[in-house]
Amino acid sequence: MGTGLQMIVGMLAALVIVCLLIVVHRKQRLVWSAVFVLLGITTALAGVFIFTGSERKEDEKTVSAEQLEDVYIGLAYGFMEEEAYEEAEIFLENYLSSGVYDDAYLLARARLYGLQENYDGAEGLYRMLLDRKSKAAGRNELKEELEVIERAKKEADEDKREEAKSLLKEAASSCAEKQTGTEDAVSYYLAVQKEYDGEEKEKKADVSDGEIWKLREMKLAKMQGQIQEENYGEIAQEMNAWEDSSQLLVFSELYRQGLISTSMLRKNEELQAKTEQAKQALSWVNKQKKGYRYTGEDKKLIDQTLKQLEKASDDSEDAYDFWMRDRLLEAAGKEEEKEPSKLYMQASRLAYESGDQTSANSCLDKALDTVARSEDDAYRGPAGELNRILSEKEDKEQLKEIDTYAKLTVDHIVPIADNSQDIDGQKEETFQENKEERQEDFTQYVTDTVNQKAASVSISGIDTKEFETVRAVVSLEEGIADTEEKFRENVEILDCGVEIPDYKVKKLEYDTVNIALCCDNSGSMEGEKIENLKKAVSTFVGKLADEVNIGIVPFGSGVLEGVCEPGSSREKLEQSVESFRSDSGTNIYSGVEYTLSMLAKEKDALNIAVIMSDGQDSIPSEEQLQKITSACENGNILLYSMGLGADVESEVLSTYSDAGNGAYVFVSDSNSLYSF
């Protein structure tokens, strides 16, 4: 079992021990017997929860550092022989990244330069090797290769280039033969890549033996080959031999898409054994419970342990979902892991699709926190841009880019593609539709969550009447602070850059919540924007809790017909939404002014005004902004603004929300509009 999970399960076992000892300590005659019995179960519990496949045979371990030279260099030469220079480059770079920079690498690099007709680079390396009297090859061999390189460079003749290429390929072939299985491995790897690119090519390799197949790159190639041949059951049976997170990501994606089923997982003998161990441990703990009455923290800890054991002993689909997510999280938590962000992001996707919003949010936070550790530029680039947007909240225009970066991030979580194109006929079409829909759903979730984080904190109602005591109402996303303890943990209060540690926090509770939607019906909203607005507001009205009072203020060049006071019936609200039309000029301030005056009637309520517009209007004057600020502070109102459409004027809308102590967000469609 993996070290991380052994620690987790060990801790859970310890919780059982501590809980029982806390209780039995009150009965002195039972203390020592309880200690011996409980310590006896610790070993059993330590192997229970999650199958991680650490019980590997010796010949299933990864390649040792001493074998890297032969394996990586051998494969690089094998690809050179096949004129697959990009692949040769990959394996040489991976050899170098392992921390080895020696003459064997320099010689392989020189030969690759020569084959790529980079004669200057090749000549320089050959001269370096000769000057240092390298033992990477015989001196005469090095001289001969340097001479053909120099002739090809000097004479620029096709025959001379072919002479150099022929000699270097011969040298590459000789070196590749020194590593057993290189020819088959290279053939298999290239066949997989060709089939991935749409070409048919038979894969003729024995991928069961040899050190070559323990390299990460070759494991992924083998896995891609199994996917192409739809050997999903074989992949499920081999998961105990995995040591690389890339394989885990691919496996989790195949499981997520239903290509690897729970019935395939149930056939894995080691996973069956772990489930049986969990059942035994669960039975034992339940028996120990019967003799005692647990209360308070004792009961809470015991219940948590039992819940984990119940999940581990179950073999339902939900249990396998839990197992898959937990395995991703375990791998992501390792200090040496290079792609924790991808693992957390995939765990977030699984949690989101299973309806566990809390876990999805938590995993997404961790994914964003660990982006910088990723070595995949295609993933790190867009994910890093999401972090940049969150750190530069004052630049409202860049909020439009969130959906683009979210899509690129999600598209690059998994290192290789699935083989869904091999599913026949109508089933393939249905599969692809479902896959694309789920991909879009999660991408939209990432977009909305990042957007909400960008608008997650608002400060209103600042009172300095008793200075040096200052009071302020702070509105935060619930995930940031739903208790005083969480507020102090996640929120830092500064005065001119100096932290203020001594402050009091009081959670405000409101009996009444009023939300007024200030909806743009001007001509610039024509088409998709007005339809998205109508759909989102209609959904919002239909799904919101009864205790929340909703109001609607349609506006164009002024306030239009269809105004609904907060607390209006759903029927009246729906009639107002149905009357939305984009056929007049734009005067955002008139709509905002009316909305704020409407909400100010109930100062003891939580009042929220939301401008929903494309912002196609001029920026309000200083006098108008002062009136907005005063109305919001006096009426206990937070003013938010939501930018609709790609051509939204973010500066206009953010000016309004800033004046009203709220926040500005950009929304791309009705789904994201409703989610806010």
CA-based diameter of the chain, in Å?
96
- State the burial class of residue 200 (Cβ atoms within 10 Å of its Cβ: 0-12, 13-18, 19+): exposed
Please state, as a whole number, how many other Cβ atoms lie within 10 Å of the Cβ of residue 646: 12
Last residue of one domain, picked from the residues 209, 243, 266? 266
Q: State how far the Cα of 95 lies from the Cα of 272, in Å rounded to an integer.
A: 38
Long-range contacts of 623-632 (CB under 8 A, 24+ apart): 624/589, 625/655, 625/659, 626/659, 627/593, 628/592, 628/593, 628/596, 628/656, 628/659, 628/660, 629/659, 629/660, 629/661, 631/593, 631/596, 631/597, 631/600, 632/460, 632/596, 632/659, 632/660, 632/661
Same domain, 495 and 615: no
Estimate to the nearest angstrom the gap between the alpha carbon of 366 and the chain centroid. Answer: 8
Same domain, 230 and 137: no
Same domain, 111 and 200: no
Q: Of 492, 643, 497, 12, nearest to 282 (Cα)?
A: 12
Last residue of one domain, picked from the residues 154, 179, 204? 179
Q: Is residue 323 part of a domain?
A: no
Same domain, 546 and 646: yes
Q: Is residue 343 part of a domain?
A: no
Last residue of one domain, picked from the residues 474, 499, 524? 499
Residues 516 and 609 sit within 8 Å (Cβ to Cβ) = yes
Same domain, 483 and 628: no
Q: State how far the Cα of 568 lies from the Cα of 552, in Å rounded to an integer.
A: 9
Q: Is residue 317 part of a domain?
A: no
Q: State how far the Cα of 565 lies from the Cα of 462, in Å rounded to an integer.
A: 27
Q: Is residue 616 part of a domain?
A: yes
List, in sequence order, the alpha helices (H) in 240-355.
245-256, 262-266, 269-289, 296-313, 317-332, 340-353
Same domain, 166 and 204: no
157 lies in which domain range? 65-179
Same domain, 522 and 637: yes
Please state, as a whole number, how many other Cβ atoms lie within 10 Å of the Cβ of residue 445: 23
Length of the chain: 676
More confident: 315 or 422: 315
Q: Of 562, 564, 621, 561, nearest to 588 (Cα)?
A: 621
Among 25-39, 397-411, 497-511, 647-661, the range scoring the smallest mean pLDDT is 25-39
CATH at residue 89? 1.25.40
Same domain, 117 and 175: yes
Mean predicted confidence (pLDDT) in 291-298: 69
Same domain, 494 and 592: no
Encode pLDDT of 245-259 as tens digits. Answer: 888 888 888 888 888
More confident: 417 or 278: 278
Q: Which pLDDT does position 148 carry in this prediction? A: 92
Estimate to the nearest angstrom the gap between the alpha carbon of 156 and the chain centroid. Answer: 51
Residues 110 and 101 sit within 8 Å (Cβ to Cβ) = no
> 149-183 as b/e, with b when 16 or more CB fall inside 10 Å?
bbbbbeeeeeebbeebbebbbebbbebbeebebbb
- State the burial class of residue 133 (Cβ atoms within 10 Å of its Cβ: 0-12, 13-18, 19+): exposed
Query: What are the backbone dihedrals phi and psi of residue 102, each rounded to the nearest 5 degrees, phi first?
Result: -130, -175
Q: Is residue 472 part of a domain?
A: yes
Q: Is residue 559 part of a domain?
A: yes
* Whole-number CA gyration radius for the chain: 32
Residues 533 and 519 sit within 8 Å (Cβ to Cβ) = yes
Cα atoms in the 13 Å half-sphere on the side-chain side of 537: 35
Q: Is residue 56 part of a domain?
A: no
Residues 53 and 270 sit within 8 Å (Cβ to Cβ) = yes
Same domain, 142 and 254: no
Residues 220 and 416 sit within 8 Å (Cβ to Cβ) = yes
With vertex at residue 15, the alpha carbon angle to CA 14 and CA 21, rounded to the nearest 5 degrees, is: 85
Same domain, 145 and 260: no
Encode pLDDT of 174-229 as tens digits. Answer: 988 887 778 878 887 787 666 544 445 454 445 555 566 666 667 777 777 777 77
Instruction: Please report the sign of the dihedral spanned by the C-alpha atoms of residue 319, residue 323, residue 324, residue 325.
Output: positive
Q: Which residues pair with 4 in a beta bridge?
A: none
More confident: 507 or 676: 507
pLDDT band at residue 471, thresholds of 50, 70 and 90? confident
More confident: 80 or 6: 80
Q: Of 370, 364, 336, nearest to 348 (Cα)?
A: 364
Q: Which pLDDT does position 485 carry in this prediction? A: 77
Instruction: Please report the sign of the dihedral spanned by the C-alpha atoms of residue 492, residue 495, residue 498, residue 504.
Output: negative
Q: What predicted TM-score, i.e. pTM, was given to this entire model? A: 0.59
Residues 118 and 111 sit within 8 Å (Cβ to Cβ) = no
Q: Which pLDDT does position 621 carry in this prediction? A: 94
Query: What are the backbone dihedrals phi and psi of residue 497, each rounded to the nearest 5 degrees, phi first?
Result: 85, -5
Same domain, 536 and 656: yes
From residue 95, how far is each of 81, 168, 299, 560 by CA, in Å?
A: 18, 20, 53, 69
Encode pLDDT of 319-349 as tens digits. Answer: 677 778 888 998 899 888 889 999 999 999 9
pLDDT of 262 over the 60 cut:
yes
Q: Is residue 625 part of a domain?
A: yes
Q: Which pLDDT does position 670 carry in this prediction? A: 58
> 450-484 as b/e, with b when 16 or more CB fall inside 10 Å?
bbbbbbbbbebbeeeeeeeeeeebbbbbebebeee
- Report the domain count for the chain: 4
